[in-house]
Structure 1
Amino acid sequence: MRKFIFLAIILFVFTANAQEFKLTNTYDVTNQRTVGQEEEDTWAVDVIETKNPEKSIATLNIADFGLLDEIRISVLQEPALEGITEILKITLEYNACCSSTKEFYYLVGEDGVIALPSIKNEYAYEPISDIHYIFPNQSFGKEGTILRAALQYTETYTIKDIKVLRSIAWNDDDFDTEDAITAIN
């Protein structure tokens, strides 16, 4: 029983100090339009600030638009990165024979917006592992560093293991030419 109480206290401390992405209506998607041939089923949408629709944050090219189930926009406030006020995450969720997500991350700061490489996760059955960015103010975050990590889960969907795939020291802006990263289960 003492071990359980001790573990519960430690978990509470980590949870209280860590932040997670929260759904927001500060941003929205608009201007849905086709890209190239309609047979390709690729569409473009603009990500805008809701209160300032003229201000475009990014343009997303969405492949297989007909299979798109949902677009979620969430924000991580005060990510503990110098000059960055928030991190915008846009999740595209597809559900067909198997489900998949594609996540776009944008660091919003005083000097503009910086895009991180997108991440794609595919799930055949139950999510055993997936890939995410971990920022300094989140659980398992590292000061002054953006981590791209593969998270493995137990049967009860708790994190069993974390494998760091890439560690990006903040102020290293050499990540805009990389291809999307994919985790397949």
Structure 2
Amino acid sequence: MKNLILFAFLFGICIINAQEFQLTDTYDITNQRNSGQEEEDTWLVDIIVTNNPESHVATLSIPDFGLLDGIRISVLSNPYLEDINEILKVTVAYNACCSSKEEYYYLVTNKNDFIALPSIKNEYAYEPITDIHYIFPNQLFGKEGTILRAAVQYTQTATIKDIKVLRSIAWNDDDFDTEDAITAINY
């Protein structure tokens, strides 16, 4: 009986970890530099593959560099999308009178190419009530072969209250149209 309980516990941990983005050191931030717009305090940073610095993922523009709270890089392994090994997420957090975070998502192909999804920006004046996120097939509420962009509404205790799908993208190994970031503002 003990073995069965231990197995169920370990299996549950594996399922939970498979659905979460995990911090990684596979990718890194480098080449922090001024963009030439000193009056706006805008900086540029490069995202690279750590063990292959020539492998450039993206260049991000960081406005209001003085308000930058941090940059976090995480991955979601085995997202159950054809020819995609993992999802790379770069979260850029700002903190001032209101906090905000921008999330940049990159699909990492079997050939180690990177496909960018439109970025998402969430702004908060108080506790977050609604966030916009991408939901991938191997995550809770995910849909097979589909990337969902959804507004997730939370209760006061930070549990999920409701999910509203904003866009459903059937994955067919295609490029995405570039578009402005999607923004959720909580005031």
TM-score where L is the length of structure 1:
0.89
Counterpart residue number, 1:6 = none
Q: Distance in 1 between matches of 2:171 and 2:101?
A: 26
1:20 to partner: Cα distance = 0.8
Counterpart residue number, 1:39 = 39
Aligned residues: 174
| Secondary structure of residue in 1 paired with 2:60 | strand
1:16 to partner: Cα distance = 4.2
**C-alpha contact 1:132 1:149 (8 A) present in aligned 2:** yes
Counterpart residue number, 1:5 = none
Counterpart residue number, 1:53 = 53
Q: Distance in 2 between matches of 1:17 and 1:114?
A: 24
1:68–1:17: structure 2 CA closer, same or farther, 3 Å change rule? closer
The question of 1:152 aligning with 2:149 is answered no
Counterpart residue number, 2:164 = 163
Instruction: Please list the CA deviations of residues 25-46 of structure 1 after superposition, one character each: whole Å capped at 9, or x if unmatched.
Output: 1111000011132112111111
**C-alpha contact 2:83 2:173 (8 A) present in aligned 1:** no
Instruction: Please list the CA deviations of residues 19-67 of structure 1 after superposition, one character each: whole Å capped at 9, or x if unmatched.
Output: 1101111111000011132112111111011111121111111111111
Point out 4+ residue stretches in structure 1 off by more than 4 angstroms. 15-18
| Secondary structure of residue in 2 paired with 1:178 | coil
| Secondary structure of residue in 1 paired with 2:66 | helix
Alignment of 1:21-170 (within 5 A): 21-111=21-111, 112-170=113-171
**Unpaired runs of at least 5, structure 2:** 1-11
| Secondary structure of residue in 2 paired with 1:39 | helix
Q: Which amino acid aligns with 2:76?
A: L
**C-alpha contact 1:18 1:139 (8 A) present in aligned 2:** no
Percent of aligned pairs sharing the same letter: 77
| Secondary structure of residue in 2 paired with 1:143 | coil
Q: CA RMSD in A?
A: 1.8
**Unpaired runs of at least 5, structure 1:** 1-11
Q: Which amino acid aligns with 1:67?
A: L
| Secondary structure of residue in 2 paired with 1:47 | strand
1:172 to partner: Cα distance = 6.3
| Secondary structure of residue in 1 paired with 2:127 | coil
Instruction: Please list the CA deviations of residues 114-160 of structure 1 after superposition, one character each: whole Å capped at 9, or x if unmatched.
Output: 00000000001010001000000000000000000000001110000
Q: Distance in 1 between matches of 2:121 and 2:134?
A: 12
**C-alpha contact 2:115 2:175 (8 A) present in aligned 1:** no
**C-alpha contact 1:146 1:169 (8 A) present in aligned 2:** yes
Q: Distance in 2 between matches of 1:17 and 1:69?
A: 26
TM-score where L is the length of structure 2:
0.88
Greater Cα shift, 79-88 or 53-62: 53-62
Q: Distance in 1 between matches of 2:45 and 2:87?
A: 19
